[in-house]
Chains A and B, each alone.
Chain A
Amino acid sequence: DSGVTQTPKHLITATGQRVTLRCSPRSGDLSVYWYQQSLDQGLQFLIQYYNGEERAKGNILERFSAQQFPDLHSELNLSSLELGDSALYFCASSGGLGGTYNEQFFGPGTRLTVL
């Protein structure tokens, strides 16, 4: 158990809908990362938050947004869903000052299926 929790574990929805994925980092970790794993693209970085502020952005679509709350949990919002958004979404956290050498701990993931 990494200490990172994600809800829900599975999500099935229809095209055009909006969903919210939730992540709670390990106790004391200030950085939260969101990653997407799809069959055709593999694992890709979406976005990072550090202590409530956006720190880095990757291949995140404009239809997607995220935020980190004062209690450090984070939410990833996916809207106007398309079939191609079906994927495993992972959250990871790392600790302390958010320095480059921090190990990342992964949550169990949320499997999103868009029908």
Chain B
Amino acid sequence: KNEVEQSPQNLTAQEGEFITINCSYSVGISALHWLQQHPGGGIVSLFMLSSGKKKHGRLIATINIQEKHSSLHITASHPRDSAVYICAVTDFGNEKLTFGTGTRLTIIP
């Protein structure tokens, strides 16, 4: 069974700061997902990656398969980025998601 750990659990930063959220997992995976959960509860898929790096706007996700580690970066952070960011993985041979506990990000204007 894969164990997914995220750090930090909570992160407060000033608007404009560069943000990094980390995720590590214990067993080899087929894909890693970064999700965003807004205060209202809805979940949005930000990235799905199995190698390398992906970029979408101010968001960048990287993964190191050998080290079983991924990072989510936010450049020029903005108060609207305030949300819970959740790392999840899919193991080989199945499609279900195993989730980390999430990182609560608060960006102060």
**Number of A-B pairs whose CB atoms are under 8 Å?**
62
B54 to chain A, nearest CB (A): 12
Which residues of chain B are within 8 angstroms of A56 by Cβ–Cβ distance? Answer: 94-96
Interface residues on chain B, number (Cβ under 8 Å): 24
Interface residues on chain A, number (Cβ under 8 Å): 28
Which residues of chain A are within 8 angstroms of B43 by Cβ–Cβ distance? Answer: 90, 106, 109
A32 to chain B, nearest CB (A): 11
Closest 4 CB pairs of A and B: A106-B43, A43-B99, A45-B96, A100-B30
> Which of B42, B92, B101 lies at the interface centre, i.e. has the most chain A CB atoms within 10 A of its CB?
B42
Chain B facing A: main interface SS: strand
Residues of B within 8 A of A (CB): 30-31, 33, 35, 41-45, 48, 50, 86, 88, 90, 92-99, 101-102
B70 to chain A, nearest CB (A): 16
Residues of A within 8 A of B (CB): 2, 31, 33, 35, 42-45, 48, 55-56, 58, 88, 90, 92, 94, 98-106, 108-109, 111
Contact, CB under 8 Å: B95 / A106: no
Contact, CB under 8 Å: A102 / B95: yes
Contact, CB under 8 Å: B48 / A44: no
Contact, CB under 8 Å: B33 / A104: yes
Contact, CB under 8 Å: A101 / B101: no
Q: How far is the CA of A94 from the CA of B92 in the complex (A)?
A: 17
Closest to B99 in A: A43
Which residues of chain A are within 8 angstroms of B42 by Cβ–Cβ distance? Answer: 106, 108-109
